[in-house]
Structure 1
């Protein structure tokens, strides 16, 4: 640098009017962070060549470096007059907004740069950093990956990308990004600490702890790195050593709150509530004006079974400002536990008044809406949380479960895939994917992917249960039994897996084995209906209808639900007593008029009995509860079609659009179109349906009828 400066000074002495020399001097001053000198150099260049855009851009960069925001703003606006929509203007706008802490504004400007110049590396780096801070981790990962690929030597972007992957819970990818820079970063303690954390979280504990040790040797007074090393020791099972190090950091550096926070959380995770309580109390003593300290004390007190003390601590935190709303959200949860729904709603709404996209508050309000039978409102809140929180897992898992309960497996799978991308190691996401595959994908494909998930999450009993379900559907009963046994090895009290073994025995024709499983369930879990339900299923399969009815009634007594009502209805129907079966449905609906499962069956019964008006009314009730219910849509469409009501077309189309891959819906919608005069369009759908079942006589007749209408 000194040599370069001497050469430039000699060039200026030889030719003081050399624009190039002054520009080079300005760039060198910028690189050395001598911002005032850089400004003077660029101004000299501009004095020589008043129209020199490069000098004017250099002046703006110098002003930004000196944090002279107002002057920089004026200079940028002047440049914009000459260079409208030029990427450099948007880049300078982004730099200024970032400097002022206006991250969303900076983000918008920098995105404009990339729309015009996609490979602009400085923008990729800065926008990646901003996206990381704003929590848009997927965007950050994409931008920083491009920057690293274009600048493989750039240690800063590698470190930032590694941090992104750690927050995305992808430590293996963090290792892959960070490890190649060991040559450049081997002397950088922050780099070593990041790589150490990535190795620890990837399961390579020994290597991770070695890297943490190297980092703290290089920077023994850096409490951030010492804290990360202690957390690494916790993961490696060195609990007491880690606790000792965290306590030492707290003692030596009481102003560094992250170590105190880490110590309390570590005690909580290890179940050491007494030690957590002492650490949390010390935290509030050291930082009596910290809302975070009081919030955390409240969390500990609640875990210790002291809700009154927890409430006092949360209110103290709220009085101190409660940044992040940790206290208010926990207080809302306490209100829910104690049954004060209005107070909980008030807390959630207060959070949203300041932060409309807060995922926890949106999810909380959604739960209250579902509890009040306001399904549309609850669904809207969850979708809002999903849209505005691109890395939030909780609203997506709840949404996915909601869609599964409504029979919308394809939509549930889409949501589950989002969670997989956000957190590839999230077991809940894998379970949701497996459930959705069972409801949507072809049986063989579902079994294959669920098998892969069970291998990845080898300690998940739920995934092995779902794998068994997939095998059973393909009549691979030995594989199903093996998967269920594995689920029970992982969780011996997994009632669903016990029931599954009974179901496999029924499929094998081994009723005695199935009855033995049912007897064990009734003995070991007398408070649950599972044993009675399994016994009822076995007896029904063997033709013992009275016994099956008695077993299902016993299950209903333990758990009076619509699902169990339908089992009783099914047995009564097979017994040849449709009147009793209908009374069972009517009795349940008199007290539970919004049970959609039972409403759908009741509507079907009424339709079969020729009571079309009553059936239409019940299908309409279902659609008020669930406007996208495909079964109700197509069933009501058929009723309207038979009545000559043109609303049949609209309903059939809605059903088809909801599940356009369902050939039976294509057939129904196509036929309704043909009979309502839209023959060409209807014929296309009828042919689509027939291609899936070329030997189906009904579908062949309907296509022939459409041909005849067209004179073909």
Structure 2
């Protein structure tokens, strides 16, 4: 049996049969003359008989049989030189390199001429990766001219694989000069030229090799590999077929042909080649990989895994020295490990390969693919752009370029690359991704059509089916969404993940009972299938069945890992829905502390702290998240929000600058960051965000909206109008366009125009948020009663909408409807006792009403959120206004230290200090308040204090 890991040597068995008979006759004759005993003659005859049979088997290609007979011959006569020599060559042909080396060295020891052993020994050293031994021990000294040329060729290959290109080129040139009729040096030189990036020269050299040695299988194999690397698949296939016509058992050529046939979508023919190798018991790890690839494509995952594992076992067992000189094996090892889900091991092989041959195109593309999978888009892009320069039409490279641009939200570029890839390959995957990119660009009809086309071509493509069902659902095509999900499940009835997806589709389509039945069916099949248990719990939560949902999740937690961050996160969401914020916080803390791979529990905890106005607790947590999840945008934005809440614009701007870099060309994220930059007072930063967003997606609605806001902040009316014009021309009639026009009118004091705009928005998209905007415009115009009437009417339509109720209470408080506002605030606090903001508004309302409970209400808020600057400020200010200056001062100092950028707090502190006649300190605080951003409103109280302090 052939070795499980060695490629066929360049000297094929069919090229050497005449050597043995030429050596045999004089050797046997000499033995007959020297031996005088009949027994010795009989032994020699027997050895000769075994040898002759071994030779015939060798000529027929029966290498295992030849080995047995040659060993029998040597056993009969240890000094039979021909048997030792031929045994070494047969073992070499069989791929048993160490045994072949030992046999040839024994032949040399027994007296075989060095010229007979030099070439096969050099081949063995080269295949074993022992290039130094070849260079040191196998020289041309004393060899015939043709043998010298062959040895020089092998030495050239050894120099090339060692990275000594100069010596390699010299050796090849000397070989060509010694034997101009030999194609071997041309053939051997071609792979080196390809490694150097000399693609045309490599092709020419390989062609010359076939012209000079048209009957040499190895020459045609090499030409085939060069042509394949240049994407000339048909030419490569023809070359490999010529190689196999010369030597049908040339494993390298047969594996290469199978690979080419797969690339040409002739999988049945490829399978025949791979089956032929099995029949001949010629095992090769590259063939194992191709078997796995074909099985995986057919959905036979078990067979695929076995084949990939076999390839990995074979390749991993090969010595590093041998692997270091064999690009195809390194590539097969990388691909097999990747297929088994071992990307790091795959990268290890690719690093070795690219370290030896930095211009190996296949390795570059594969490494880029792995980098894309691991979201290392920057490094992937460098490799892919280099690959595209070499082969601009490669559909795989185009596909990967599309994937990188898609991940970076550069949908226009992604769509272009996917379209080119699909056109060149017809790949369903490329068509599917093209559909995704078109949907992201708002080209719904085109995107949907391509998704439908991809799913029809490959019904087993779960990714296409899932996205298609979601698109149908979003478009209100419920029947088609269900039909698609059911088709996926029908194809894979035992796939629990797909069955779970079907349950989700049913639930989103409004069939809650169907969804519940599906999830329960799943849990009957596998009680520990967590996604179904979680989804069933979500259904319970939507129906306010918190107890059964809680019990189910807790049971999963107890049955598995009590530190399961995902389940703890789900429990936290449940407790928030159940209005148990303290329990939610406990679960989130636990989830955050027990792992460092999922930022969501920590981010959610920061948001909870912020909602409770506990910025002192949110800040250290947000800082740790930004440090532990370095380079992750959500963590950076969370920290920036906390800084903004603390009025720490300087640190917020610094974090947002890093976030801008991380967001790269993601238009939506750049717009989000730009809005935060405006909140931090960084107009130039927001301008840069707009530019990045528009560079990614020209005409992006969000970016154009932000551009208007940026120009409005700069205060140049002409530029605001120009930005508005661009927006209206690009997105006429859009609700967002009308909305930003209303914002501009509002900022200019054009309240009737603002009201008209907000009313249009509210009528098109009735919501609490839009009702509040319209109310604000009415209030600004002095139409408090009108605003209140509109809000109260909206709140009656949405009786469970707390936000609407809060808005009503706020306007009532502003309109002086104190009793009504008090009643609503009490109702809100009964529903949301932990809402610090409402508690503070309630305290301020009571203070205005002269209600003695104002202090108690403010104290309650501060007790609930002891580190909350607003709570400390509210209590301190109420106490100061009620004459308890010293009592209020303590809280105001604390508030100022917790939020030094808050101009209102600093004014309150200045006012209290002035009352206590601490003029210098009061002047310092008021000066800081007047210079802070956003600017302190110039009320009568502020003007009086300013005048009093001489500012």
- Asked if these proteins are the same fold (TM beyond 0.5), I'd say yes
Give how far 1:446 is off: 1.8
Q: Does 1:449 align with 2:723?
A: no
Shift of residue 242, structure 1, vs aligned partner: 1.9
Deviation at 1:177, TM superposition (A): 3.0
For structure 1, the residue ranges without an aligned partner over 5 or more in a row are: 43-54, 507-512, 533-553, 567-584, 607-613, 619-712
Report the Cα offset of residue 214 of structure 1: 2.1
Once residues 442 and 534 of structure 2 are traced to their aligned partners in structure 1, the CA distance between those partners, rounded to angstroms, is: 20
Whether contact under 8 Å (1:265, 1:276) holds in the other structure is: yes
Hey, what's the Cα distance between the residues in 2 that align with 1:94 and 1:313?
40
**Aligned with 1:37 (options 278, 284, 292):** 284
Alignment pair present for 1:369 and 2:643: yes
**In the alignment, which residue of structure 2 is the partner of 1:229?**
502
Within a 5 Å distance, the mapping from 1:640-679 to structure 2 comes to none
**Structure 1 pair 496–131 and aligned structure 2 pair: CA distance change class (3 A):** closer
**Which residue does the alignment assign to 2:550?**
277
Q: CA deviation at 1:378?
A: 0.8
Aligned partner of 2:410 among 138, 153, 170: 138
Matched, 1:62 2:336: no
**1:7-26 residue CA offsets vs partner (Å, 9 max, x unmatched):** 97896254569999557436
Q: Which residue of 1 is the match for residue 777 of structure 2? A: 500
The equivalent of 2:491 in structure 1 is 218
In structure 2, the partner of 1:360 is 634
Q: State how far apart, in whole Å, the 2-side matches of 1:60 and 1:291 are.
A: 39
Residues 262, 445 of structure 1: alpha-carbon distance in 2 compared, 3 angstrom cutoff: same
Residues 595-617 of structure 1: per-residue CA shift (max 9 Å, x gap): 34658999xxx9xxxxxxx99xx
TM-score by length of 2: 0.45
Q: 2 CA distance for matches of 1:349 and 1:477? A: 42
Q: Distance in 2 between matches of 1:101 and 1:374?
A: 33
TM alignment of 1:97-112, pairs within 5 A: 106=380, 108-112=382-386
Structural mapping, 1:331-410, within 5 Å = 331-336=605-610, 341-390=615-664, 391=666, 396-397=671-672, 399-403=674-678, 406=681, 408=683
| 1:515-554 alignment, distance < 5 Å | 517=786
Assess if the C-alpha contact under 8 Å between 1:189 and 1:218 holds in 2: no
Cα gap change, 1:496 to 1:474, in 2 (>3 Å): closer
Change (3 A) 1:128 1:414: same
SS of equivalent residue, structure 1 residue 317: helix
1:310 and 2:584 are equivalent in the alignment: yes
The residue aligned with 2:929 is: 592
Which of residues 598, 603, 611 is equivalent to 1:324? 598
- Segments of structure 2 that go 5 or more residues without pairing to the other structure are 1-235, 264-269, 278-282, 290-324, 338-344, 793-807, 817-844, 850-873, 878-901, 908-921, 944-948
Contact 2:755 2:774 in 1 (8 A): no
Q: Distance in 2 between matches of 1:502 and 1:345?
A: 35
Following the alignment from structure 1 to structure 2, what is the Cα–Cα distance between the partners of residues 491 and 359?
30
- For this pair of structures, how many residues does the alignment match? 533
Give the whole-Å Cα distance in 1 for the aligned partners of 2:618 and 2:745. 44
Deviates more, 1:357-366 or 1:398-407: 398-407
Question: Which of 355, 376, 387 in structure 2 is aligned with 1:77?
Answer: 355
Q: CA deviation at 1:175?
A: 1.6
Structure 1 residues 320 and 201: alpha-carbon distance in aligned structure 2, compared to 1, 3 A threshold: same
The residue that corresponds to 1:689 in the other structure is none
After superposition, give the CA deviation of every residue in 1:90-112 in whole Å (9 maximum; x if it has no partner).
Answer: 33554676799988755543343
TM-superposed deviation, 1:211: 1.8
The structural deviation recorded for 1:204 is 2.8
Residues in 2 aligned to 1:352 and 1:284: alpha-carbon distance in whole angstroms: 28
1:243 equivalent to 2:506? Answer: no
| Alpha-carbon separation, structure 2, partners of 1:522 and 1:39 | 72
Q: Does 1:124 align with 2:371?
A: no
Q: Is the 8 A contact 1:94 1:110 kept in 2?
A: yes
Q: Whole-Å Cα distance in 2 between the matches of residues 74 and 448 of structure 1? A: 53
Per the alignment, residue 841 of structure 2 pairs with: none
Contact 1:521 1:530 (8 Å CA) reproduced: no
Residue 494 of structure 1 deviates from its aligned partner by: 2.9
Q: 1:203 to 1:57 in 2, by over 3 A?
A: farther
1:185 aligned partner: 458
Matches of 1:143 and 1:357, distance apart in 2: 28
Give how far 1:324 is off. Answer: 0.9
SS at match of 1:210: helix
- The alpha-carbon deviation at position 332 of structure 1 amounts to 3.6
What is the CA-CA distance between 1:206 and the residue it aligns to?
A: 2.8
1:238 positional shift = 1.9
Aligned pairs for 1:478-489 within 5 A: 482-489=756-763
- Does residue 12 of structure 1 match 2:244? yes
Instruction: Quickly say closer, same or farther: Cα 1:324–1:130, change in 2 above 3 A.
Output: farther
Cα deviation, residue 155, structure 1: 0.9
Q: Distance in 1 between matches of 2:552 and 2:609?
A: 26
Question: CA 1:419/1:57 → structure 2, altered by over 3 Å: closer, same or farther?
Answer: same
Instruction: Quote the Cα distance in structure 2 between the aligned partners of 1:474 and 1:344.
Output: 36
Taking structure 1 as the reference length, the TM-score comes to 0.58
- Once the two structures are TM-superposed, the CA of residue 361 in structure 1 deviates from its matched residue by 2.5
User: Structure 1 pair 436/453, CA: closer, same or farther in 2 (3 Å)?
Assistant: farther
In structure 2, distance between residues paired with 1:125 and 1:451: 34
For residues 727 and 376 of structure 2, the distance between their equivalents in structure 1, rounded to whole angstroms, comes to: 44
Question: Structure 1's 321 and 18: CA in aligned 2 closer, same or farther, altered over 3 A?
Answer: closer
CA gap of 1:454–1:213, structure 2 versus 1, over 3 A, is farther
CA contact (8 A) 1:30 1:38 kept: no
Deviation at residue 366 of structure 1 after TM alignment: 2.0
Alignment map for 1:132-171 (pairs within 5 Å): 135-138=407-410, 141-142=414-415, 145-151=418-424, 153-162=426-435
In the superposition, relative to structure 1, how do residues 240 and 361 fare at CA in structure 2: closer, same or farther (>3 Å)?
Answer: same
Q: Secondary structure at the match of 1:191?
A: helix
Question: What does the per-residue CA deviation read over 1:476-512, in whole Å, with 9 as the maximum and x for residues that have no partner?
Answer: 9997665443345425783442453577xx7xxxxxx
Change (3 A) 1:313 1:488: closer
